Structure formats: C-alpha cells, structure tokens
Structure 1
Amino acid sequence: MRFSETEKRQLIIFAALAYGITYVLGLLMWYGNSTGADLSVFPNAQMLYPAAGVMMAYLLTRKGDQKVPRIFYVTFLVITVLMILCALGSVFLPQSIQAGQMEMSVWMVLVQVVLILGSIVFWITLLVSGKERREACGLRWRNWKKSVLCMLLFFVLYSLRMGISSALGGQMGEFIQLWALPSTWLYLVTLVLNFFLVVVAFFGEEYGWRYYLQPLLQKRFGLRKGVLLLGVIWGLWHLPLDFFYYTTPDMGVIYVASQIVTCVFIGIFLAYVYMKTRNIWVAVAVHYMNNNLIPMFVGNYSADVLQGQTIAWGDVLASLILNLVIFGWFIFLKPFREKKEA
C-alpha cells in the first residue's frame, strides 16, 4: 500500500527534523570531539528530535484540525529548541563547575534543569489538552492490565539477558548478590519516580518511532518487514553518537553494527508491546527502563556510564545471539499475524 500525498508531506517533514537535525549536529559533534569538548548534552537533546518531527508535520499539514493538541506540541517544540541551544553552547561556549570532587559541564546541568522543568510542563499541557485531543493523537493511557504486564515482562527479560551475560562472563555470583543489596532496590524505587521528571526524552523517541513511523512502515512493507526496517532506520539514526559519544571514531563502524542489532531486536519487543496495548506510554516506559537499568547491573551509577566504551566484532556477534534468543521470537507472536502482510 502506497503513502497518500499528505503522508508523504508528513514523512518529509518528519525526516527533515528527526534525521536532518541529528546529522547536522553530528558534524558539530565531530568538531567538538576534535577539540575535546564535553558532548554529554547531545544524546539527551537528540532523543527529542523524532517527536518534534511528528509534531511539526502535524502542525503544518493539519492546520484546521481542532483535535491536534497544539499547546502540548508547541511546549514540546520549545523544549527541543532549548536542548539544541544547550548542545550548541556545550561546544562553542564550554564552561564547567566544581560539584564536590567532580567537575561538571554547566550545559549538562542546564540540560537536566530543562528536562525536569520541561517534563513538569509537559505533563500539565498534556492534561489540559483534553481527552479528545489525547485520543486523536495517540496520547491516552489505555489497557491498564496488559500495559503493566508488558512492562513487568520487559524487566524480567532484561534481567534474564543480563543474567545470561553475567554467567557467560563468569560473574554469576555477582549477579545473584546484586539482588541482595539494598542499593539495588532503592535504585529501582528511584527509577520509577525519576521517570516522571525526565519523560520528555523517552517520549521524544517513542512518539516518533513507535507511534508515527512504525504504523507507516507496516502499512507500506507489512507488519514484520516494517518493524525490521524501522529497527535499521532507528539504529542508523544513532550514527553520530556511535562515532563520537558511545565510543571513539576508530571503533565507530563496529558500534554502528552493534547499535543496529540492538535497535532491531529491542524494536521488535517495543513493536510488540505497542501493537498489543495500543498504548504509547508502555513503549516510553520500556525504553526508559532499557536505558536506565544499565547502571544498576554494571554497578556504575555515574552519568557517563555509556560514554567512551570499547567494543569488538565478537561483542556484536554475542549481542546478536543474545538479543535474538531474548527478544527475536516476539516477531512470530499473534500481533504480527493479525493482518495479512503487504
């Protein structure tokens, strides 16, 4: 099934923002990497671009539609612009402050303020938008029982994946001991509370990828092929971060391959829970857990736990096998078979 003219216009606007801003600022990351700038702001800012692309596409193509939550959309776009300005400032006007024994980028502190205050305003404008507008643009919470079960299922599967990885690395004892530590359970409680204060970032990705682009690609390529294609698209979207943040440029190609593997298989699970519940907030919560459970399992709670990693092709193969076993089989379940593939 082909895209309509309106869908084509919306897709162009979405791609221009989600990918255009990402890759243009990727050049800035390349420059910042060469000057030794702190690039920690960039991954936080980048997460907002997909949703910003959807919102701008809807605002420009559905001008007379009273069901579009304009105040909510405009609020999110303002937050996105502020995040971009922080990213620019971190490269062109680098400043740092001393926090105890740690030195922190002023711009990273500002980003955290923008995320927290922005998330508070985000919830307020979402609520005042009204039930009808939230329904029309995929913003309502629905299917409570299925939604909660899907979130719990992800936590179990994520923990299982980390357990298998620990066992293969000869660290099963440390993995078991982790669950006896009070700090583990305190972190999990804190994780739930923090979700509401940083939600804009994770909503930023999922509203773009799962709510908007996934159904569009499934309409054109089929339920399974559309999701697999989305995983590749999502993986390549991380490219500037893969070269200049998560690792060093010399290992960038390997990390891109690893990122695509992760995005394809996590994307299968995210597609499953979204199709199962029709609740975008479940995908947002799962994405949040996927990113924020890492410090607990690796025992490193520092903000830059994902920065400057080392990686080899053997790690990519191990990730492929492990993610295939844990998440790959979801693509054969009922939600992916309910309609005839195109």
Structure 2
Amino acid sequence: MGKYNVSNRDLILFLGITFGLTVIMGIAMRLAYPTYSVDSFPLVQMNYPAIGVMAALLLNKKWRNELPKNFFKTYLFITITLIIYLLVEVFVFHQNPDIHLEIWIMLGSFSLIIAYNSDSKEKIEKFGLKFKKNVKSSIIYILLFVALYLTAIFISSILAGEVHSFIEPFKSLKKWSVLLLMPLLFAFSFISFLGEEYGWRYFLQPALQERIGKRKGVIVLGLIWGIWHLPVNMFYYSPETPLHSVINQLIICIGYSVFLGYVYMKTENIWTISMIHFINNGLGGILYGGTGTNLVFTWKSVFINLLFFSILYMPFLLAKEYRKSDIDMVEAVEYTGEEIEVTEKDIER
C-alpha cells in the first residue's frame, strides 16, 4: 500500500474508529427507524473507512509530516459536518436531510478536488491518491466490471423468462445519456465511494495480505466489509428479512472483495476502484429503476446470488496477482529494512 507498511497500531486505530463510528451511528439509525427517514445514514456511513485511515495516520508521528494534509483535513471536516448535520436534522428538527446532505456531498467533492491539487504530488502519490496511474488498464477493468455486472443481470432475465426486461432500457436515449454522463456524475459524489475504497482496498487489503496471505486477506476483508454493513442491512436494505440480507451482503462483499482486490493489485489506482463501486451502486438504478431499499429476500434469491458471485468473481482468486507473496515479502524488506525469512509456506500461501 503506497510506500509504507501498516503497523499494528495503525490497524487497530483504523478498525476502532471505523467500526466505532458505525456502531454509534447504527444505534442512531435504529432510534430514527421507522419514525424518520434513514436514507442518509448509509450515504454518510460510506465515509467512515476513510476517516479511520486518515485519523490513524494523522495520529502517527512517523508519517504525520509526509501526509497530504490538505486532502485529509478537508475530508475529515466534510465528514464530521455531515454526521453532525444528519443527527441534528433527524433528532432535533425531525426532518429528512437527504437533499441538503447530497448538496453538501457535492460541495465536499469539489473541495476535495481543490485540496488534492494543493498538496504536493509526492505526498498524494505516496499515500495512494494519484489519479493518473495506469489509466489504460484502469479503463479496461472498469469495462470488464460493467460486462460482468450486465452478464449477471442478463442471465437472471433468461432464467426468469424476461429477456425483454433486460433489453428494454437500452432502447431509451435518455438512459444512454445518463450512462454516458456517469464519469461526470462521479465527480459530484466521489467523496462517498473513495470513503469506502480508501479504507478497504488501499489500507486494509494490503495490511491483511501482508499478515495472512493474499487470498486469505481478501476473503477476510470481504467478511469484515460485509459485517460493517450490518446497520444498513437491518434498517435500510431489508428490514423485513435482515438475516437473509446480512448473508447476502457477505456473499456480495466477498465476491467483490476478490474482484476489486485483483483490480487494485493490477492498477494500484484507488480512483479506479472507487469508480467501479460508483458504477455498481448506480448502474442498476439507472437502467432498471431499482433503489436497493426495503427489499424482501428469500433463501432462493440468496442462493442465486451465491451462484452468480461464485461463477463471475471468485475465479479471480486463481490470477497470478494472488500468487505473488514471495515478491511482496522482498518488497517489504526494501521498505522496512528488516530481515524477513521467506519460507516455502509463505510463497505458496
């Protein structure tokens, strides 16, 4: 991850802050539900992993002077004000904060662009935020994700005997216009998607892979990522079938963790992963009008998702990027200056 190794202290701080915020705001979400709208809680929750990373690094004296502080502090300010605004609107003024909150997210994204350009290029790159990195391969993997995403929907429509429902949206000029504008729309809301991916892919993935191996690392990451969604599963995605929703979330997060982990190791570009996350969250809604809220799952639908994600994403575990533990260990020696004995078990892991 970038140019430094994650210490145990940084890892504990990251997990404590990320899950601490999630638990606190999850309790607030439960108190608000169903009396008030909880639509804004999942949107703000997306920022917590990045907050965990940035806070942990800012508290680390070793790295404090080398950080892109303008970017980090701007992100922290935007997120803290989002949390305060959300809680005040819901519990003090008893109002739905959705519209104003989305405007603040848009303004926050623009503020981050300014902060990004005010920090030195060296600091931006060192801490994994360089935008123009492996651009060509990034575009290829974004298109690959879109192809896999649409393949799953197409197969589902065949099994349901409703192929026309898959094809119909592509006949709409309006939908094509929105699809082509997605890169621009990303610029208005990237703060949220970067929020998750900077925590999970940039920070936690390498930290876990260095400790337990590349394959096990992304699997454990998928489990952690899935469990982190618990409040959203219970009070937003599927309040009527929360157990089904949680299991379905674990399936999705493990599958995506494998694929996104692979893409991140190939591109080393966190913006690419954030864009894929953005497309995943928005493509279905643009094409088919789904909101992803108040869903009712059955064990059959959960099993179908397990089947699709196993077929489409789990095979990426066989990619050579997941077999480079020996090279990574050598790089770790170069970064830390420590002598590390590489065993046969480490290479095979």
Gaps of 5+ in 2: 326-346
* Cα distance in 1, alignment partners of residues 173 and 63 from structure 2: 54
Is 1:60 aligned to 2:59, yes or no?
A: yes
Give the one of 209, 212, 215 matched to 1:218. 209
Q: How does 1:69-108 map to 2 (within 5 A)?
A: 69-96=68-95, 105=96, 107-108=97-98
1:112 maps to amino acid: E
Q: Equivalent residue for 1:238?
A: 229
Give the one of 250, 253, 260 matched to 2:243. 253
Q: Equivalent residue for 1:24?
A: 24
Q: Equivalent residue for 1:7?
A: 7
The structural deviation recorded for 1:84 is 0.8
Q: 1:13–1:53: 8 Å Cα contact kept in structure 2?
A: yes
The structural deviation recorded for 1:165 is 1.3
Moved over 4 A (4+): none
Deviates more, 1:159-168 or 1:6-15: 6-15
* Cα distance in 2, alignment partners of residues 28 and 341 from structure 1: 45
Is 1:275 aligned to 2:265, yes or no?
A: yes
Q: 1:265–1:323: 8 Å Cα contact kept in structure 2?
A: yes
Q: How does 1:1-342 map to 2 (within 5 A)?
A: 7-34=7-34, 36-62=35-61, 65-96=64-95, 105=96, 107-141=97-131, 142-248=133-239, 250-300=240-290, 305-339=291-325, 340-342=347-349
Match of 1:198, SS state, is helix
* Cα distance in 2, alignment partners of residues 280 and 207 from structure 1: 7
The structural deviation recorded for 1:127 is 1.4
Q: Deviations over 1:159-213 (max 9, x none)?
A: 1111111111221112122222112211202322110010000000000000000
The structural deviation recorded for 1:65 is 4.1
Q: Deviations over 1:129-186 (max 9, x none)?
A: 1210011101113111111111111111111111111111221112122222112211
1:160 maps to amino acid: T
Q: 1:255–1:311: 8 Å Cα contact kept in structure 2?
A: yes
* Cα distance in 2, alignment partners of residues 64 and 237 from structure 1: 27
Gaps of 5+ in 1: 97-104
Q: 1:187–1:296: 8 Å Cα contact kept in structure 2?
A: yes
The structural deviation recorded for 1:94 is 4.4
* Cα distance in 2, alignment partners of residues 168 and 184 from structure 1: 24
Give the TM-score of the pair, scaled to structure 2: 0.89
Match of 1:215, SS state, is helix
Deviates more, 1:10-19 or 1:212-221: 10-19
Q: 1:68–1:133: 8 Å Cα contact kept in structure 2?
A: yes
Deviates more, 1:182-191 or 1:59-68: 59-68
* Cα distance in 2, alignment partners of residues 214 and 168 from structure 1: 35
* Cα distance in 1, alignment partners of residues 275 and 94 from structure 2: 33
2:136 maps to amino acid: K
* Cα distance in 1, alignment partners of residues 92 and 45 from structure 2: 19
The structural deviation recorded for 1:315 is 1.1
CA RMSD in angstroms comes to: 1.7
The structural deviation recorded for 1:63 is 5.5
Q: Equivalent residue for 2:335?
A: none
* Cα distance in 2, alignment partners of residues 136 and 319 from structure 1: 37
2:78 maps to amino acid: I
Q: 2:57–2:63: 8 Å Cα contact kept in structure 1?
A: no
Q: Deviations over 1:26-59 (max 9, x none)?
A: 111111115x110011011000000010000000
Q: 2:11–2:207: 8 Å Cα contact kept in structure 1?
A: no
Match of 1:293, SS state, is helix
How many residue pairs match? The answer is 324
The structural deviation recorded for 1:296 is 2.5
Deviates more, 1:308-317 or 1:115-124: 308-317
* Cα distance in 1, alignment partners of residues 24 and 101 from structure 2: 20
* Cα distance in 2, alignment partners of residues 330 and 77 from structure 1: 34
2:169 maps to amino acid: L
Q: Equivalent residue for 1:100?
A: none
Q: 1:39–1:90: 8 Å Cα contact kept in structure 2?
A: no
Q: 2:226–2:246: 8 Å Cα contact kept in structure 1?
A: yes
* Cα distance in 1, alignment partners of residues 13 and 302 from structure 2: 33
Give the TM-score of the pair, scaled to structure 1: 0.91
The structural deviation recorded for 1:306 is 1.8
The structural deviation recorded for 1:341 is 4.8
